[in-house]
């Protein structure tokens, strides 16, 4: 199994957490987004969208998009499950996950920030404000769901670690990168803190990956 990764990639962070929860190891191949390696022809042949993560597992084409990869991992290695068995609970978990992976994260990835700078001449402060806005929008929605819905427990969905927790933790890491105050989101912060006590989450953190800056 090969995981195309970069230390700062929040989407790849999600896949690393899932692999750790399943007790799986993957050969990590760095695709340095800051140096534009995602645009190299060799990687474009793996993922024409020039985005990570990508996962190669045995024969066949690479898998792409973090949620699709995680659901594949969950189906092939079902213990412990990352989605509830109840259909409504499963839909809720996927919905919470997609607030992060579909509604927020795609708006703050490097290629979007680079386009804002190059095409619209947005300065560094403006790009930071853009990223903070979309992080806060997602965190506000997540907080309202998690703080008011009875299905929330120790984790996003009761007492089971799910795909939603994986995505929530990646959102919090991104918020930290972009200097977003987490104080207005106490339920989110509580669940993230609980998850980070789990070694599978802690080991996967971006700042613990090869190439990350020493803090």
104 shares its domain with 192: yes
pLDDT band at 215 (very low <50, low <70, confident <90, very high): low
pLDDT higher than 80, residue 25: yes
Q: Are 156 and 164 in contact (CB under 8 A)?
A: yes
67 shares its domain with 102: no
Q: Are 161 and 18 in contact (CB under 8 A)?
A: no
What does the pLDDT read at residue 214?
82
The domain boundary residue, chosen from 80, 99, 123: 80
Query: Residue 174 has which token pair?
Result: 């991104």
Other Cβ atoms closer than 10 A to 83: 21
Specify the CATH number for the domain of residue 200: 1.20.1050.10
**What's the average model confidence in pLDDT over 209-215?**
86
């Amino acid at each position: 199994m090969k995981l195309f990764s970069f230390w700062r990639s929040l989407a790849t962070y999600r896949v690393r957490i899932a692999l750790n929860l399943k007790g799986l190891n993957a050969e990590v191949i760095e695709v340095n987004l800051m140096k534009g390696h995602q645009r190299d022809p060799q990687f474009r042949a793996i993922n024409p969208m020039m985005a990570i993560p990508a996962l190669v597992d045995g024969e066949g084409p690479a898998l792409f998009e973090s949620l699709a990869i995680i659901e594949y991992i969950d189906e092939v290695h079902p213990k412990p499950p990352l989605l509830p068995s109840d259909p409504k609970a499963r839909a809720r978990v996927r919905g919470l996950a997609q607030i992060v992976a579909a509604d927020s994260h795609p708006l703050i990835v490097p290629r979007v920030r680079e386009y804002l700078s190059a095409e619209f001449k947005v300065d560094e402060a403006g790009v930071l404000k853009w990223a903070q806005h979309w992080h806060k929008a997602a965190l506000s929605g997540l907080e309202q769901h998690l703080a008011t819905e009875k299905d929330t427990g120790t984790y996003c969905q009761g007492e089971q670690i799910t795909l939603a927790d994986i995505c929530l933790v990646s959102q919090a890491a991104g918020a930290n990168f972009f200097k977003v105050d987490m104080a207005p989101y106490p339920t989110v912060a509580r669940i993230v803190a609980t998850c980070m006590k789990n070694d599978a989450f802690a080991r996967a953190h971006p700042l613990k990956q090869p190439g990350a800056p020493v803090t």
